[in-house]
Amino acid sequence: MSSNKNNIKIHEHFKVVPTSSTQTTTPLTYFDIFWLRFHPVERVFFYTLPNSQSHPSFFFQELVPNLKSSLSLTLKHFPPLAGKIVWPSDSSKPFIQFNPNDDDNGVSVLIAESSLDFNHVIENSPQEASLSRSLIPYLESTDSFASVMSIQITLFPKNGFSIGITTHHAVLDGKSSTMFIKAWAYLCNKVIKTEEESPTLLPELEPLFNREIIKDPNEIRKKFTDNINELTTKMFPNEKPNQRCLKIFPFEPKLKDSLRATFKLTREDLDKIKQRVLSKWEIFDTNESKPETLSSFILTCAYSLVCIAKAIHEVEKKREKFGFVFTVDCRARLEPPIPNNYFGNCVWGIIVDTQPLDFIKEDGDFLVAKCMHEKIKMMNQNGFDKFSPMPNEGVEVMGVAGSNRFGVYEIDFGWGRPEKVEIVSIDRGLTIGLTKSKDGNGGIEVGVVLNKDVMDHFSHLFLEGLSSN
């Protein structure tokens, strides 16, 4: 396993399968294929427990059995998650297959206990980047198959527990994975409170797996494929090309001399950034009319990524050219639009190709926000048949994971809402993790993993920029 488990004691390892199911085969669309060998998405949810429930006996005798039985009930609605991605020699494309008679199928679940200080692990202030890694389960992938999801439930004696979830990006995007976790939490509550044997899901949590509704009007699949090949060749030049290989590329976590931290932008902070950015629109631009407003997503990305680029440049002067890639949900943008509960990948990548030095300029947040705004506007008007070009050589590309629209702090399995939610996998690249603030007041939490020296500069720039007029 790639993660450090030195502070973890494994109590049990088992597989959970749907309560009742038949064999299912689910195709992968061109939206899915793009992520076929991309690193998995790793999230951890931290929950505190009151004193009466923080004893190990409650965890092992009540909490774990309830999570296990409700997971099995949930997988009945989401059978592909208990399967594997396979690519038989007689198939031109890979697909997801769940076979209830195959002992290798099912969701891998680890029950563990951590010796880490719970209150330290959930702190927002910078700490060793490796700490959260021990709470995340490994996702198996080989040349011939790839698991879809694995889970680790970890007890912190006298404090609480965490649920670490690792998901294969080729099977589900962030919206879909959050939908699954919400469905699991909903059914867990039902199991605890009503003891129903077969509770039903809310309609909005019922997944739609119909791949026929995803059309390919302008041979987008080919554009995706060409782009994947170009991207993987650049990133992994030593990997032998094997079209049928399903092994995930080695995006190793950057943990040495790295810190993980969470920074908050309040509603007031976002308003301040927005006014500052909009006030520069007429000064810098004569062609585009100033937008009435800018989304919290644009403002957060532009502000945070410019602070990161400037901090990196301050520490390593030679690193000065940056770009940014983000994804947009296409469910409502397809023609015709597809239902909100479509389960799979339905996101399109957009590259913010400002001038490479724009991220480290004094007005970087304006330049990046403007480019993001224009790219999204262009996509909404013209569709997404034109694929974004790859960044130029020597440009360091930053990314974003998560969304302030997922509502992860609302996910209550029956023992209260999360104390903290982290996207652990941001340590596999130069990526920020976004979640809507826990307080529900319209703010956003920004997770970052940076070199220790860069983190010092980033923290200073981030906080200084919010205090200045």
Q: 417: Cβ–Cβ under 8 A, 6 or more apart, which residues?
A: 47, 409, 410, 411, 438
φ, ψ (nearest 5 deg) of residue 198: -140, 70
What token pair was written down for 307? 């602070």
- Which of 68, 58, 254 lies closest to 153, judged by CA? 68
What SS3 state is found at 359? helix
Q: 464: Cβ–Cβ under 8 A, 6 or more apart, which residues?
A: none
What is d(CA 173, CA 283) in angstroms, rounded to the nearest whole number? 39
The one-letter amino acid at 245 = C
Do residues 234 and 389 make contact, with C-beta atoms less than 8 angstroms apart? no
What token pair was written down for 419? 């104390």
Residue in 39, 168, 169, 313 annotated catalytic: 169
What token pair was written down for 217? 């009007």
- With 0-12 / 13-18 / 19 or more C-beta atoms within 10 angstroms meaning exposed / middle / buried, residue 20 is exposed
What is d(CA 353, CA 390) in angstroms, rounded to the nearest whole number? 9
Do residues 188 and 413 make contact, with C-beta atoms less than 8 angstroms apart? yes
Largest CA distance in the chain: 67
- Which of 132, 166, 461, 179 lies closest to 339, judged by CA? 179
What is d(CA 33, CA 94) in angstroms, rounded to the nearest whole number? 8
Residue in 102, 329, 412, 456 annotated catalytic: 412
What token pair was written down for 216? 């390919």
Do residues 325 and 332 make contact, with C-beta atoms less than 8 angstroms apart? no
- Is 103 an active-site residue? no
What token pair was written down for 218? 């302008």
- With 0-12 / 13-18 / 19 or more C-beta atoms within 10 angstroms meaning exposed / middle / buried, residue 408 is buried
- Which of 426, 441, 455 lies closest to 126, judged by CA? 455
Do residues 401 and 339 make contact, with C-beta atoms less than 8 angstroms apart? no
- Is 457 an active-site residue? no
Q: What is the DSSP letter of 255?
A: -
Catalytic residues: 169, 412
